[in-house]
Chain A
Amino acid sequence: MARGLSLYVEGESPLHRAHPLTSGVLTLAAIALAFTLPSIGWVAGLLAVLLALAAIAGVLRRLVAVAVVVLLPITVLLLVVQGLVNPANATVAIAIGPVALYREGLAIAALSALRIACLVVATFLLSFTTRPADLAEALQQRGLSPRIGYVLQSALQIIPQTLETAGRIQDAQRARGLETEGWLPRRARAYLPLLLPLVLSSLVATQERAMALEVRGFGRRVRRISRHVFHDSRTQRVVRWALALSVPAAVGLRLAGWR
């Protein structure tokens, strides 16, 4: 059976031990800053900080491996498109026959790629060092509705559960002679008969789960007492506020002409 989609990696680093809200605020602030900071130097610096944090958390190698897979095609696409056709292009950087990549476009592409890299790295850093259930729990302790908390916690398990159901249906269909292997058109055709039973079984499962949740008291109007006590400290609170305030500060500076 498929497991949940959690990417969490066990560890004892400061990031692993940090309050989930601190990790969450760090991620959000890093993403917001990546798209606010004005130049390649600043954004590259932010990326370096995130990578240093990943190294401290002991997840650098794993993070780079995953991030490269995500970022490489995006970066290549950005460099080619912007280098070729950005309206600001004026100075040729590389010419291959009649095709030229321009310095201005490449610079814009590099800045965009770095920003996206910060987004991806910050997100994976959070995923590798913080359990989604802990983050949802911490948010509920700060007043988030249990229903929204449940949606956050369950979202990561929906995909593997659906894949597991789809696999079961396909096995049953194969056993009855449906050809699901071979070249692409045949495999594509095999997905059509999968859709209806998959949708129907998902609807039934959703109804059963809704019943099961009620039977377990979900939605009962009582004050829920959390079992989890997350370590928090004055330092972490200061860090959270500093990170949160850094974003409007950066926005203010940009509006004031920071380039």
Chain B
Amino acid sequence: MKYLCLIYAEEAAFGKMSQDDASKMMGEYMAFTKDIQASGKYVGGNPLQPTSTATTVRVRNGKVSTTDGPFAETKEQLGGYYLIDAKDLNDALQVAGRIPGAKVGSIEVRPIREM
């Protein structure tokens, strides 16, 4: 079964990170990605540009409205994701707990609805 692991963290804190810390984090992510690829559980995953680059699209009464944002109203923002193939929720939570971002932010684990 597939699960989407959404990585939330404080974007502001990320920006203030020192060069050393940032490259350490990057290294951890690369190691983790390699590791779940080897385990066969990796389906996909990417980091995202900050919320300042986000645009929201809505269609109401046939009219498209495009707005800037959403801007950070909550403390933590979506910063990236992994799509994984896991045996069950316990297995997925196990993988999510190893995502480097779990140590500073939080990971939301959502089962994929198979259509």
The answer on A and B forming one complex is: no
Q: Which residues of A come within 8 Å of B, CB atoms?
A: none
